[in-house]
């Protein structure tokens, strides 16, 4: 009934505009609904705790939508019909979401825990990963997404995503109302990594010419926590490649003797929180300048706190930003936007 009322109101507004201006400023409701329907890929699966889409269907749909934006003359000028779509995908979780009144059935909790038990043989399961009414809720969401980077034919870029870090081209593969955990991350990565390896070539026909599009996806859209899970690291401060810990990072001869885990190279250099981490690194160095050590003990803690307050006050007055202040339930005020402001004015400080 609400949908019908919305459609009737829209149609009345459109007809009123046509009578007033004599042109069709607004498209019909039917046209809008048909256009929106074409924006959805096939094979969308919706459950009571989330939704997902088959990766092959999502990529096929993405390629078809990209081809709609391309000039046909440019395509015909290509000396090949074989193209490659490069993209990135990743996994991340978000907590402290607004909750609703949705209830989670006992049967759903049992089925989710059975899914965890199936992975006990891999040694990845943990008692803390078990689902219950507390962590199987919409307070947290676990997301898997994909972003197309560019479409290439014989080293010629046919289409380019000019905003690869923007949400504009971010395509959701799956979301689930569960807490991010090591077992979730590991299971989903293994599943979709296999799916990426099994992707088929997409065929698109334009004016009797068949174009073949292959896919090259890299798992680089991750943060340090996710990378640690996949590389078996328990400490966020340790290196994922050589496994060195902070206490030995200044021993360059020791670091050079360590073997590198080449399997970690495929995760790339995560830039998801790069701005924030670099800013925090500089801030922590600045806090400890009075005693020039990596950590504060006894009387040095007072010196660190005084200098920290001075730096926070200075940044607040000069750049109107707040750094290193804890927000209850939301981490700290150290956001990407705050970091960008700091680095954009770094020469003026």
Is 13 inside a domain boundary? Answer: no
Q: Which residues pair with 160 in a beta bridge?
A: 150
pLDDT digits (tens, 9 = 90+) for 283-341: 999 999 998 887 788 888 999 999 999 999 999 999 999 999 988 766 789 988 899 89
**Dist. CA 314–CA 308, nearest whole Å:** 10
Same domain, 278 and 344: yes
Is 137 inside a domain boundary? Answer: yes
List the single range of 56-65, 212-221, 232-241 with lowest mean pLDDT: 232-241
Tokens for 314?
A: 């200075």
Buried b (16+ CB within 10 A) or exposed e, 283-309: beeebbeeeeeeebeeeeeeebeebbe
Label the pairing between strands 209-218 and 82-94: parallel
For position 14, what pLDDT does the model report?
62
Same domain, 206 and 109: yes
Is 336 inside a domain boundary? Answer: yes
Q: Are 87 and 217 in contact (CB under 8 A)?
A: yes
Domain count, the chain: 3
Residue 128 scores a pLDDT above 50 = no
Q: Which residues pair with 159 in a beta bridge?
A: 151
**Dist. CA 339–CA 102, nearest whole Å:** 37
For position 194, what pLDDT does the model report?
95
For position 110, what pLDDT does the model report?
52
Question: Across residues 207-226, what is the average pLDDT?
Answer: 90
Is 16 inside a domain boundary? Answer: no
312 CB-near residues (< 8 Å, 6+ apart): 322, 323, 324, 325
For position 1, what pLDDT does the model report?
36
Same domain, 203 and 238: no
Same domain, 237 and 158: no
Taking residue 195's Cβ as centre, other Cβ atoms within 10 Å add up to 15
Residue 213 scores a pLDDT above 90 = yes
Same domain, 246 and 345: no
Residue 109 scores a pLDDT above 60 = no
Is 314 inside a domain boundary? Answer: yes
Same domain, 45 and 150: yes
pLDDT digits (tens, 9 = 90+) for 21-73: 555 566 778 888 888 888 899 999 998 888 999 999 999 999 999 998 888 88
Is 164 inside a domain boundary? Answer: yes
For position 29, what pLDDT does the model report?
80
Same domain, 135 and 217: yes
Is 81 inside a domain boundary? Answer: yes
Same domain, 243 and 267: yes
Give residue 126's pLDDT band: very low, low, confident or very high (50, 70, 90). very low
Same domain, 180 and 207: yes
Instruction: Out of 221, 243, 260, pick the residue that ends a domain.
Output: 221
Domain range for 236 is: 232-272
Same domain, 90 and 197: yes
Is 91 inside a domain boundary? Answer: yes
Same domain, 315 and 212: no
């Amino acid at each position: 009934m609400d949908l019908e009322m919305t459609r009737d109101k829209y149609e009345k507004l459109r007809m009123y505009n046509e009578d007033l201006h004599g042109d069709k400023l607004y498209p019909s409701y039917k046209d809008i609904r048909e256009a929106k329907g074409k924006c959805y890929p096939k094979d969308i699966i919706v459950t009571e705790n989330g939704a997902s889409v088959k990766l092959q269907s999502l990529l096929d749909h993405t390629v078809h939508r990209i081809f709609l934006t391309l000039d046909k003359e440019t395509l015909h000028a290509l000396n090949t019909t074989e193209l490659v779509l490069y993209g990135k995908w990743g996994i991340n979780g978000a907590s402290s979401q607004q909750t609703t009144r949705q209830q989670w059935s006992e049967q759903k909790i049992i089925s989710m825990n059975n899914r965890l038990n199936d992975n006990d043989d891999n040694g990845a399961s943990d008692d803390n990963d078990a689902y219950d009414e507390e962590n199987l809720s919409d307070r947290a969401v676990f997301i898997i997404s994909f972003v197309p980077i560019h479409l290439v034919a014989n080293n010629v870029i046919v289409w380019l995503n000019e905003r690869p870090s923007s949400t504009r081209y971010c395509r959701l593969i799956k979301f689930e109302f569960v807490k991010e955990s090591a077992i979730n991350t590991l299971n989903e990565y293994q599943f979709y990594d296999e799916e990426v390896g099994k992707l088929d070539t997409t065929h698109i026909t334009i004016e009797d010419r068949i174009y073949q599009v292959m896919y090259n996806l890299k798992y680089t859209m991750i943060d340090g926590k996710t990378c640690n899970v996949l590389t078996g690291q328990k400490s966020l401060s340790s290196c994922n490649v050589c496994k060195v810990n902070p206490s030995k990072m200044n021993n360059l001869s020791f670091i050079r003797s360590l073997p590198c885990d080449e399997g970690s190279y495929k995760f790339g250099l995560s830039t998801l929180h790069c701005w924030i981490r670099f800013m925090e690194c500089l801030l922590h160095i600045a806090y400890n300048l009075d005693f020039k050590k990596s950590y504060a003990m006894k009387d040095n803690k007072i010196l660190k706190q005084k200098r920290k307050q001075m730096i926070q006050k200075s940044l607040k007055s000069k750049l109107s930003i707040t750094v290193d202040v804890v927000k209850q339930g939301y981490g700290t005020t150290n956001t990407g936007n705050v970091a960008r402001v700091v680095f954009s004015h770094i020469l003026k400080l």
